[in-house]
Amino acid sequence: MAIKRTSLKPDIEHGNFTGINNIDSAITIGPRALRSCTDYDNRQDGILVPRPGQTSIVNQASHSIWSNKENTLCLYRKGADLVRLNTDETSTTISSGFVGSRMIFRDGDAGQVFLTDGTAIGMVTGGSVYQDMRFILPVDHFKNIAPSGISIEFWHGRLFVIIGNKVYFSDPYLPFQFDMQHNVISFAGAVTLFRGMNGGIFVADGNIRFMAGGDPVAGMPMTVRADYDAVPGTDIIIPGDIVGKQPTAGMTLWFLTDNGVCIGNDDGGFRNVTDKKFNRTFSNGSALYRRDSNINRYITVGKG
């Protein structure tokens, strides 16, 4: 697959980053770029004292919480269990025996949810029935079952599985059937971002790329959008009409990179909204969108 540099439509119209600036000195940038102090009391002698609080202690920490596009289903991992959070705030264990440290979920068709934790790959239907996709036989006997990977994506009826620098994709509308020899895309480095948009796929493999089109078999030309990498796990997709000073039609992809927070849109438009105002401080993380005090916030946490 040829990689070429071409010009695309104008970059996304979003204002500059108004979040945390961890590069410039607070003395030179003034108080506007600083976060308000909400968890400390200021004593008369000027010393900040932490306010009292509570700590939740559990035997098995929960992680990898996820909800679907309709916000009708919430899944997460608790220890080795796959758990559904119910509307009355109780929980139901759907399946057990998982050993991977992080679980990735993706919406599928007809209410399906696909998931992987690096060691297992499966599918949840109806919000309560789990199937291990490694035991679902392909329709064509000469095809392979779904492999498990560090991440997945479901796009245009195909399930994509990321393993190192390779991305394997299923036959169309047969997410449990893979041609491991032919249906594979190889990249220059380990794939740290792979998210499908309306007009193509954003990929990071040491560079940020956009694969335009809708069929990986027919060929999807790639354009380099930036010469730095993405932080795994920090990507989220939110509607473009709720973010930015000039709302964007369609969906927007937000993710953290080595050089700050970046935004991509449906047709491959790309912009770094922090540029040199933010340093990468962790090797992998998670992200969420939150609206607070009439401000749209993209929040990331990470480790490493």
- The answer to whether position 269 is within a domain reads no
Sign of the C-alpha dihedral computed for residues 170, 172, 177 and 180 taken in this order: negative
Query: Phi and psi at residue 134, in whole multiples of 5°?
Result: -75, -10
The predicted pLDDT at position 32 comes to 61
Place of tokens 């009391």: 41
CB 35 within 8 A of CB 20: yes
Q: Which of 170-184, 216-230, 282-296 has the lowest mean pLDDT?
A: 282-296
Query: How far is the C-alpha of 279 from the C-alpha of 121, rounded, in Å?
Result: 34
Q: Provide the CB-side half-sphere exposure for 22 (13 A, CA).
A: 8
For residue 65, pLDDT beyond 60: yes
For residue 117, pLDDT beyond 90: yes
The predicted pLDDT at position 296 comes to 79
The predicted pLDDT at position 58 comes to 52
- The answer to whether position 236 is within a domain reads no
Q: Name residue 147's beta-bridge partners.
A: none
- The answer to whether position 82 is within a domain reads yes
Residue 259 CB contacts under 8 Å (≥ 6 apart), including other chains: 226, 228, 272, 274, 275, 276, 280
Query: How far is the C-alpha of 276 from the C-alpha of 302, rounded, in Å?
Result: 19
Averaged pLDDT, 222-241: 93
Residue-range definition of the domain harbouring residue 156: 61-186
Query: How far is the C-alpha of 108 from the C-alpha of 265, rounded, in Å?
Result: 21
- The answer to whether position 214 is within a domain reads no
Task: Read off the tokens for 39.
Answer: 């968890």
For residue 216, pLDDT beyond 60: yes
Query: How far is the C-alpha of 113 from the C-alpha of 104, rounded, in Å?
Result: 10
Averaged pLDDT, 126-132: 95
The predicted pLDDT at position 137 comes to 94
Percent pLDDT > 90 in the chain is 61
The predicted pLDDT at position 218 comes to 92
pLDDT bracket for residue 290 (50, 70, 90): confident
Residue 94 CB contacts under 8 Å (≥ 6 apart), including other chains: 75, 81, 82, 83, 84, 124, 128, 129, 130
Task: Read off the tokens for 224.
Answer: 């380099």
User: Considering its fold, how many domains does the chain have in total?
Assistant: 1
pLDDT bracket for residue 258 (50, 70, 90): confident
Which strands form 208-212's sheet, in the order they lie side by side? 193-197, 200-204, 208-212, 222-226
- The answer to whether position 69 is within a domain reads yes
Question: pTM score > 0.95 for this model?
Answer: no
Q: Domain of 89: which CATH number? A: 2.120.10.30
For residue 17, pLDDT beyond 80: no
* Tens of pLDDT, residues 165-204: 999 999 999 999 999 999 999 999 999 999 999 999 999 9
